[in-house]
Amino acid sequence: MTTATTAQAAFSAEPPRRRRKATAPAGLLLDRLARSPLDATARQWVAAAAHGDEALAACARGETLDLPEPHEPVAPVQHARRCFLSRVEVQGFRGIGRSAALEFPPGPGLTVIVGRNGSGKSSFAEAVEAALTGRNLRWDGMPTAWRDGWRNLHFDDRTEITVELQRSGERRPTRVTRSWNGDSVRSARGEVSLPDGRSGSLASLGWGEDLSRYRPFLSYDELGRTVTGRAAELYDTLTTLLGLTELTETERRLAKACDRLAKTEGRPGRDLPFLVERLHASPDPRARRARDLLAAPSIDLDRLAALAADDGPSDPAQQVVLRRLRRLAVPERALIGDVVNELRGAAMEIAMASGTKGTRARGLVELLRQAIDHHERHPAEADCPTCGTESVLGTAWAHRARAEIAKLEPIAASTAAAYARADSARDQARFLLAPPPGWLPPDSELGRIWADWAAGTAITDLGELATHVETVGRRLRTAAVAARKAATESLTDPTDGWAELTEQLAAWVDDAREAIRARSALAPAVQALDWFTALARELREERLGPLAAQAEKVWSRLRQERHIDLEALRLVGRGASRRVAVDVAVDGSEGAGNSPGLLSQGEFQALALSICLPRTLAPGNPFGFLLLDDPVQAMDTETVEGLSAVLAEVGRHRQLVVFTHDTRLPDAMRRLGLPATIRTIQRDAMSNVWVAD
């Protein structure tokens, strides 16, 4: 049996009839839900997940939902008119300068276009993709300078691509034209000329998402990314192709809802240590009561909520003290300085007058004045009250005493002034040394200093009094300024930080109540997720089976004599961890598992082709053609021979255009006698490109 003959078993244009018809996801969901062991609540979770995020959110809130049963989905539109390439004309794009064209028989068949590197092969392949999609996936991974070099340097006229597509059942082609008028690659305009002469947009072709789902373009870079690129990309491609997107989304929504419930349930426990730490740092007595409630075996959320609602000051009387402290006045520094200077000045004058005649005269004057005052108050008493001499105090004595005072006063004047200044200074000091206000707490720092300050009224010595006023006055002013500042700050937040704590406490209580609701909802939600995950796994295996079987057959042809078997393709994981697992066996040994590291670069390419080529043959694919750009790179000669047989078999069912610089592929085609049209593409130094049969 020839290689070409044995390759025929690798493909069939439609799935084998003996396979059981796949049940639509929503229909299977209805059938399985009706027969599942799930209780009513868990079933409602499954139904809510099928209906979307809003229904799931309502289910998580504990609301009873009256959801309609999921309807059987409308069968996807099967494009009765499959389209084929008939002509591609390119000018001024990439490596193509003046207008160059490729023409193809519009139907199944294999065309191999061979040319050295730089001959314009990739420019044709990229041109078809750019015309139909407006972009090129290969450009996305390139540097900006390379990507922006889309316009040919040897052609100054307009850049334009025209792709003619022959759709089955139509006699005339559909023409897609894309032209660029600006310097940016985004300046392109696309237009469609329909067979009846009308013009339209690409949307009028009705392909929608099919261009990304079936993607009739495959470059070497894309083949490499199929296996080694982001894990989710291939997963999404296959689930979309197999009609499992809604199933995947339902599972993702349900898993995300369970994750949210689990996080909601655990949030109070995670936040509790931080809250208790903040409560320990608060002096407010309500913080201690809150700590006691949180430490109880069963937390009373209602009492905690009442504490959180009490965000006023803990001691209203203290607020009166704080308001008075904020307005408290103490002697000014200048006034204290003046009194100290006056005390010390008076003390100096008294010291200077000590021992002088003026001091003696002042004493006699004070004594005589006191005697006269006594005589005037008691005129009948003539005896001296001090020495007891009889009948000495009388009118004559009073006259002589007043005369003596008049004689001594001039001598005593300076000394009398010094003592008068001292008395005045003491009075000023005693006025400053007022007792503390009755509302001031005596055990506070300011209260203790003020008591010490007021005790200075008992000091008689002028020097000591001056020192007391000066030193204690400085301390009094410092303490008063600090007390006023602290009072102002405390009045700004009269709760001393408790109000902020009440917000955190209230938020924790809300989270705790949400956690209770989440705990009751989580069990049925997890039950629903476990059941749905098992169902989704079963359906993925069922849908992926035919494609995986074809991939395994393609791989068996491409691997040739290598002892590496492709055992299975599996869709595993969900959300960010979703991926396609590729299980291989080496030398017949099991357990190699998902081990792409065992493959060489050429085997990577062969594996990627094994996965991508069956997608081309999917029944719903509206594109009867596939463009393959350089699929032979890194393959050895034996793999190239296997590839040539596989490509020829694909060409029996689809239009396959392969661009390659490697002459081993056309040589294998000729040597094996495989049906293929082989053309050669050439390009000169001025970007003129032509094709020879």
Quote the pLDDT of residue 340.
Answer: 87
Quote the pLDDT of residue 310.
Answer: 76
Q: Is the separation of the CB atoms in 97 and 89 below 8 Å?
A: no
Quote the pLDDT of residue 79.
Answer: 44
Quote the pLDDT of residue 411.
Answer: 65
Average confidence (pLDDT) over 458-486:
87
Quote the pLDDT of residue 225.
Answer: 67
Quote the pLDDT of residue 263.
Answer: 93
Can you tell me the distance from the alpha carbon of 175 to that of 85, in angstroms, rounded to the nearest whole number?
10
**In this predicted model, which residue has the larger pLDDT, 433 or 313?**
433
Dihedral of the alpha carbons of 614, 628, 113, 688, in degrees to the nearest 10: 160
Q: How confident is the model at residue 244 (pLDDT cuts 50, 70, 90)?
A: confident
Can you tell me the distance from the alpha carbon of 47 to that of 292, in angstroms, rounded to the nearest whole number?
44
Is residue 192 classed as helix, strand or coil in its secondary structure? strand
**Burial (CB count within 10 angstroms: exposed 0-12, middle 13-18, buried 19+), residue 339:** buried
Q: How confident is the model at residue 493 (pLDDT cuts 50, 70, 90)?
A: low
Quote the pLDDT of residue 148.
Answer: 62
Beta bridge partners of 692: 680
pLDDT exceeds 50 at position 172: yes
Quote the pLDDT of residue 588.
Answer: 56
**In this predicted model, which residue has the larger pLDDT, 485 or 395?**
485
Q: What is the DSSP pairing of strand 159-167 with strand 83-91?
A: antiparallel
Average confidence (pLDDT) over 315-340:
75
Quote the pLDDT of residue 241.
Answer: 72
Q: Is the separation of the CB atoms in 205 and 217 below 8 Å?
A: no
What pLDDT digit, counting tens, does each position of 4-57 carry? 444 444 454 444 433 344 445 556 676 777 788 888 888 889 888 888 888 888
Q: Is the separation of the CB atoms in 61 and 544 below 8 Å?
A: no
Can you tell me the distance from the alpha carbon of 366 to that of 370, in angstroms, rounded to the nearest whole number?
6
Can you tell me the distance from the alpha carbon of 282 to that of 271, in angstroms, rounded to the nearest whole number?
17
What is the secondary structure of 45-108 as a DSSP string?
A: HHHHHHH-HHHHHHHHTT----PPPPPPPPPPPP-SS-EEEEEEEEESBTTB-S-EEEE--SSS
Quote the pLDDT of residue 248.
Answer: 86
Average confidence (pLDDT) over 104-117:
93
Q: How confident is the model at residue 641 (pLDDT cuts 50, 70, 90)?
A: confident
Quote the pLDDT of residue 74.
Answer: 42
Q: How confident is the model at residue 228 (pLDDT cuts 50, 70, 90)?
A: low
What pLDDT digit, counting tens, does each position of 124-156 carry? 988 998 888 877 766 665 556 555 667 788 888
Helix ranges (H only) for 67-219 are 121-133, 137-140, 144-147, 210-213
Can you tell me the distance from the alpha carbon of 393 to that of 371, in angstroms, rounded to the nearest whole number?
9
**In this predicted model, which residue has the larger pLDDT, 367 or 567?**
367
Count of CB atoms within 10 A of residue 452's CB?
Answer: 15
110: which 2 tokens? 């294999």
**In this predicted model, which residue has the larger pLDDT, 552 or 504?**
504
Q: What is the DSSP pairing of strand 109-114 with strand 159-167?
A: unpaired
Average confidence (pLDDT) over 615-619:
80
| Sheet-wide strand order for 174-180 | 100-103, 83-91, 159-167, 174-180, 188-193, 199-200
Can you tell me the distance from the alpha carbon of 342 to that of 432, in angstroms, rounded to the nearest whole number?
13
Can you tell me the distance from the alpha carbon of 224 to that of 115, in angstroms, rounded to the nearest whole number?
22
Q: Is the separation of the CB atoms in 611 and 268 below 8 Å?
A: no
Q: How confident is the model at residue 657 (pLDDT cuts 50, 70, 90)?
A: very high
Q: Is the separation of the CB atoms in 292 and 407 below 8 Å?
A: no
Count of CB atoms within 10 A of residue 643's CB?
Answer: 27
Quote the pLDDT of residue 68.
Answer: 60
Single-letter amino acid code for the residue at 297: P
What pLDDT digit, counting tens, does each position of 351-374 carry? 776 766 666 767 677 777 777 777
pLDDT exceeds 80 at position 459: yes
328 CB-side CA count, 13 A: 29
**In this predicted model, which residue has the larger pLDDT, 505 or 227?**
505
**b/e burial code for range 201-238 (CB count within 10 A of at least 16 → b):** ebeebebeebbebbbbbbbbbbbbbbbeeebeebbbbb
Lowest mean pLDDT among 231-235, 318-322, 574-578: 318-322
Quote the pLDDT of residue 592.
Answer: 46
Q: How far is CA 459 from the centre of its chain?
A: 71
pLDDT exceeds 70 at position 199: yes
Tokens 């065992």 belong to which residue? 598
What pLDDT digit, counting tens, does each position of 668-686 carry? 999 999 999 999 999 988 8
Quote the pLDDT of residue 22.
Answer: 42
Q: How confident is the model at residue 666 (pLDDT cuts 50, 70, 90)?
A: very high
pLDDT exceeds 90 at position 346: no
Nearest to 238 by CA among 541, 567, 601: 541
Q: For the chain, state the CA radius of gyration.
A: 52
Q: How confident is the model at residue 484 (pLDDT cuts 50, 70, 90)?
A: confident
Percent of the chain with pLDDT over 70: 79
Sign of CA dihedral 150, 153, 158, 159: negative
Is residue 441 classed as helix, strand or coil in its secondary structure? coil
User: Mean pLDDT in the chain?
Assistant: 79
DSSP element (H, E) containing 114? strand 109-114
Instruction: Quote the strand ranges of 465-605, DSSP E.
Output: 564-572, 579-586
What pLDDT digit, counting tens, does each position of 389-412 carry? 766 777 777 777 777 777 766 766
Quote the pLDDT of residue 80.
Answer: 46
Average confidence (pLDDT) over 192-211:
85
**Burial (CB count within 10 angstroms: exposed 0-12, middle 13-18, buried 19+), residue 398:** middle
**In this predicted model, which residue has the larger pLDDT, 4 or 122?**
122
pLDDT exceeds 90 at position 85: yes
Nearest to 650 by CA among 7, 100, 196: 7
Quote the pLDDT of residue 311.
Answer: 64
Q: Which stretch, 72-81, 542-551, 646-655, has highest mean pLDDT? A: 646-655
Q: What is the DSSP pairing of strand 100-103 with strand 83-91?
A: antiparallel
What pLDDT digit, counting tens, does each position of 258-314 carry? 999 999 999 999 999 999 998 898 888 888 898 999 999 999 999 998 888 876 554
Q: Which stretch, 52-66, 226-240, 377-391, 579-593, has highest mean pLDDT? A: 52-66
Can you tell me the distance from the alpha carbon of 106 to that of 692, in angstroms, rounded to the nearest whole number?
19
Phi and psi at residue 312, in whole multiples of 5°?
-85, 180
Quote the pLDDT of residue 611.
Answer: 75
Count of CB atoms within 10 A of residue 414's CB?
Answer: 16
The CA distances from residue 552 to 9, 187, 348, 605, in Å, are 11, 43, 118, 14
Quote the pLDDT of residue 98.
Answer: 93
**In this predicted model, which residue has the larger pLDDT, 245 or 182?**
245
DSSP element (H, E) containing 225? helix 220-228
- Sequence-distant (≥ 6) Cβ neighbours of residue 137 within 8 angstroms: 129, 217, 219, 221, 222
The secondary structure of 351-409, three-state, reads HHHCCCHHHHHHHHHHHHHHHHHHHHHCCCCCCCCCCCCCCCCCHHHHHHHHHHHHHHH
pLDDT exceeds 80 at position 200: yes
Determine what percent of the chain falls in helix, strand and coil, rounding each to the nearest 5: 55, 15, 30
